[in-house]
Amino acid sequence: MSAQARVFSGYRRLFRARRNLFEGDVQAMKESRVAIKQEFVKNRGAVIAGEQFEGLLTMVDEAEDMLRHGIARGNLNPGTGNY
């Protein structure tokens, strides 16, 4: 898989993970979209081979894993006022 394809794949996976986690929370969806895009734009000029590039892809994998498995989401129970 080419470097560009690997980066784009990671970007899409992060967007899917945030969509699943923040479904129904408009503010969190907007803020997470901006944060993900900022990080990818910040690293746009990174060398596409070598240890630094692999480190960036590892960070994408870890961020996706955290969004999918590391954050518990509570829903408000209107009857009791508890989450």
Report the alpha-carbon distance of residue 73 to residue 56 in Å, rounded.
27
Residue 67: the pLDDT is: 94
With a cut of 90, say whether residue 64 has pLDDT above it: yes
Tell me the pTM: 0.81
**More reliable by pLDDT, 16 or 71:** 16
Residue 72: the pLDDT is: 83
Residue 67 near residue 21 (C-beta atoms within 8 A): yes
Residue 83: the pLDDT is: 83
Residue 14 near residue 64 (C-beta atoms within 8 A): yes
Report the alpha-carbon distance of residue 9 to residue 61 in Å, rounded.
10
Model confidence at 76, pLDDT cuts 50, 70, 90, reads confident
